[in-house]
Amino acid sequence: MEKYIYQYRNWTDFKWDYSKIAITLGEVRNLQGKLSGTMNALGFSLKSEAMLETLTLDILKSSEIEGEKLNRKQVRSSIARRLGLETGGLIFVDRNVEGVVEMLLDATQNYKQELSEDRLFGWHSALFPSGRSGMYKIEVGKYRTGEMQIVSGAMGQEKIHYEAVPAKNVKSEMDRFINWVNEESQIDLVIKSAIAHLWFVTIHPFDDGNGRIARAVSDMLLARSDGSSQRYYSMSNQILKERKKYYSTLEKTQYGDTDITHWLSWFLNCLKNSLLNMEITINNVLRKAEFWKRIADIPINNRQKLMIDKMLNGFKGKLTSSKWAKITKVSSDTALRDIKDLIGKGILQQEEEGGRNVNYILLLL
């Protein structure tokens, strides 16, 4: 019968073939340095906007991996308030959103702080403020006391993907994990981040929230590897894109022996893709900033600002006067006046598709 990785003696004495990951690790380190250099050359407001965008993305996507969709505006508002950044009006934020934000910001902004049992319990309590996961009451702010299986499939046709470390061993396994995270070692911090992620989800110490907390620990160690609390790339966003591969690689590694080369290789490639994709996000931030700078001296009203901002942030579908009226809550005549005013100022352009359909696009001056 196949053994789980934790059933091997001294299972946390992980081994890997450095020759198989060295090139990718080098590429990751190079991209981290390049991204840091690019960001340091920007002004404070642009860096803040890029960081706000990155942290918002990271929180949304980490929750989405677990099948939970959070409200983007609430997440962004909560982060902006906690970081003291300017934001377009504070809005009501649900307790569960506040909790997720609190956890990630503690992990990344206080990355130099030691990990502790109490800190992990605090993160877990923040994730589940009601003491429930959906409809089910769970043990919150403490390690699980029951056994844990990862199962999929319909009732009666369940497939067990993984059985976690027995509950009686969780405390001792976590003590060892926490000590390892905190101790100085010769392991590159990017590699340490990858190992921590695997190690934590293998123990699966909590009733729920293990994936999100594993990614928070991983992010904390990535912040240490950058030597900065300023986050400009989202590993969770990339994991979501590669979710099937993420779970299959985890499962394969947890059914294997203590050689984790396969996991490290996947993690490093995922991180590399995350860093490459971040260049696109930064370019979007710069593009928006440049646009607002170019029209800074042109008088526009608040409705026009709102709609321009929506278009810069990827307005879904075609912009019409009726959509403008609905979103800004004005009459069709007022919407058309707003639009024609922007056309006259060279900010919008009419795009005709024949018939009665008239659409409008931004002119990036």
Residues 189 and 249 in one domain: yes
Where would I find the H helices in 183-314?
Answer: 189-203, 210-226, 235-241, 243-254, 261-294, 302-312
**Adjacent-strand bridge partners of 147:** none
pLDDT at site 352: 66
Q: Is 295 exposed, middle or buried (0-12, 13-18, 19+ CB in 10 A)?
A: middle
pLDDT at site 365: 46
Contact between 288 and 248 under an 8 Å Cβ cutoff? The reply is no
- How far, in Å, CA of 112 to CA of 221, rounded? 9
Other C-beta atoms lying within 10 Å of the C-beta of residue 329 = 9
Residues 279 and 179 in one domain: yes
By mean pLDDT, which of 9-13, 71-75, 276-280 is the weakest?
Answer: 276-280
Residues 250 and 323 in one domain: no
Q: Phi and psi at residue 31, in whole multiples of 5°?
A: -65, -40
pLDDT bracket for residue 191 (50, 70, 90): very high
Q: Closest Cα partner for 266 from 287, 288, 235?
A: 235
Task: Give percent of the chain with pLDDT exceeding 70.
Answer: 96
Residues 273 and 342 in one domain: no
User: At which of 269, 289, 309 does a domain end?
Assistant: 289
pLDDT bracket for residue 264 (50, 70, 90): very high
Per residue in 125-141, pLDDT (tens digit) is 999 999 988 888 999 99
Residues 113 and 196 in one domain: yes
Find where tokens 């990017």 sit.
Answer: 190
Residues 323 and 238 in one domain: no
Residues 123 and 149 in one domain: yes
Residue 45 in this model has a pLDDT that exceeds 50: yes
Residues 99 and 199 in one domain: yes
- How far, in Å, CA of 312 to CA of 149, rounded? 45
What would the mean pLDDT of 279-303 be, rounded to a whole number? 85
Report how far apart, in Å, the C-alpha atoms of 120 and of each of 60, 104, 126, 127 are. Answer: 20, 12, 10, 11
- Structural domain harbouring 346: 298-362
Q: Closest Cα partner for 302 from 61, 16, 89?
A: 89
**Helix then strand then coil, % of the chain, to nearest 5:** 60, 5, 35
What would the mean pLDDT of 185-196 be, rounded to a whole number? 97
- How far, in Å, CA of 111 to CA of 105, rounded? 9
pLDDT at site 88: 53
- How far, in Å, CA of 216 to CA of 234, rounded? 11
Residues 216 and 120 in one domain: yes
Per residue in 349-363, pLDDT (tens digit) is 988 665 567 889 888
What mean pLDDT value characterizes the chain? 91
User: At which of 265, 289, 313 does a domain end?
Assistant: 289
Count of the separate structural domains present in the chain: 2
What would the mean pLDDT of 325-329 be, rounded to a whole number? 94
* CATH number for 145: 1.10.3290.10
Two tokens, residue 332? 């069709």
Q: Closest Cα partner for 127 from 70, 175, 182?
A: 70
Residues 198 and 341 in one domain: no
Contact between 63 and 234 under an 8 Å Cβ cutoff? The reply is no
3-state secondary structure 13-63: CCECCHHHCHHHHHHHHHHHHHHHHHHHCCCHHHHHHHHHHHHHHHHHHHH
* CATH number for 346: 1.10.10.10
Residues 257 and 303 in one domain: no
For residue 87, the 8-state DSSP code is -
pLDDT bracket for residue 38 (50, 70, 90): confident
Residues 306 and 285 in one domain: no
Residue 284 in this model has a pLDDT that exceeds 90: no
Per residue in 207-260, pLDDT (tens digit) is 999 999 999 999 999 999 999 999 999 999 999 999 999 999 999 999 989 999
* pTM summary value: 0.83
User: At which of 250, 267, 289 does a domain end?
Assistant: 289
Contact between 208 and 128 under an 8 Å Cβ cutoff? The reply is yes
